[in-house]
Structure 1
Amino acid sequence: MRKAFAVLTAVTVASLGALVPATSAQAADCSDAMAGALSGYMYAYDNTNCNGYLGRASGDDSDWGNSSQSFQGGDNNKASSILNNGNSYEVKFYGAANSGGGHICLSRSEGWASNLSDDTLTNGAPANNNISSHAWASASNCSKWAV
């Protein structure tokens, strides 16, 4: 009986060990969010790894702070991760005017930037918590890319 219990315990511990790395790996990026993203939309999130949903848009939003389009006033300068599930364009994210503007683009092929603290805008300002608008753009109109 003790041997059977020991074997059962070993199998249980081994299977738990196999689950922990898989769960941690999934939480380390935006793959789950991308799997659930609607085609033709870009998304922004308050936290890294596409957690803390701020909003989504299929069109441009020239001012996330004015609450007149997809994003609302509280979303302004809060994005820490972004996702592009667009159909034919890249997304050009613009920094806050009070930080000198600048932009960073997210390509459809890249799909997401799970941690904007790794990125800067074209003017050298941090991208994290510094996005105040976005527009769909062709790749030729982008000079800096999120990673």
Structure 2
Amino acid sequence: MRKTLAAAATLGLAGLAVIVPTSGAQAATPCDNAWNSATNGYFYAYANDNCSGYLGSAEGADSNWGNSQGSFQGGDTNNAESILHKGTSGLAVQVFNGTGEDWAGGHTCIKKSEYYMSSLNGFSFTSGYDVDNEISSHRWVAEGSCGKFLDS
């Protein structure tokens, strides 16, 4: 009798597992995959949503994504649709819709704790301009230097 009850209980639990799958094994998103394969200490930008269409990466600042002097080159300016932060310093990455080392113009930041933004659509700089396809420069700053964050 005990074997019969044990077998029935086991079958009942097995049947429940088919009906209600566990949530622990979720598929990784494209940005999760990009973050896992990114080099520590770098900021990345992508031409498409979901961290695809690699534009460039930088360990330091780049005051003009449209020239050929920094990590980002020529056509990279105003083309980012997703970004990834794999810094190790704890600093935020401040992105601008302007260029130059005066760091003027509208900006917004991505915190180290945000890891990435799979889409910049719907976010704006402090100037009110859209962030999607409008980033022209970036630098690493303390979170206190950010007037706006992408998660807000």
Q: Same fold (TM over 0.5)?
A: yes
Give RMSD over aligned pairs.
1.7
Q: Name the residue aligned to 2:130.
A: 126
- TM-score with structure 1 setting the length: 0.78
State the TM-score, normalized to the length of structure 2: 0.75
In the alignment, the residues of structure 2 paired with residue 63 and residue 133 of structure 1 have an alpha-carbon distance, to the nearest angstrom, of 5
Alignment of 1:40-79 (within 5 A): 40-79=41-80
Report the secondary structure of 1:118's partner residue: coil
Larger Rg: 2
Shift of 1:56: 0.2
Identity of aligned residues (%): 46
In 2, are the aligned partners of 1:42 and 1:58 still within 8 Å (CA)? Answer: yes
Whole-Å separation in 2 of the counterparts to 1:60 and 1:35? 22
Paired residue for 1:96? 98
Aligned residues of 1:80 and 1:117 also touching (Cα < 8 A): yes
Deviation at 1:146, TM superposition (A): 1.1
**Which of 99, 104, 110 is the aligned partner of 2:114?**
110
Pick the structure with more helix per residue. Answer: 1
Structure 1 alignment gaps of length 5 or more: 1-21
CA distance in structure 2 between the aligned counterparts of 1:69 and 1:60, rounded to whole angstroms: 8
Question: Contact 1:83–1:112 at 8 Å: present in 2 too?
Answer: yes
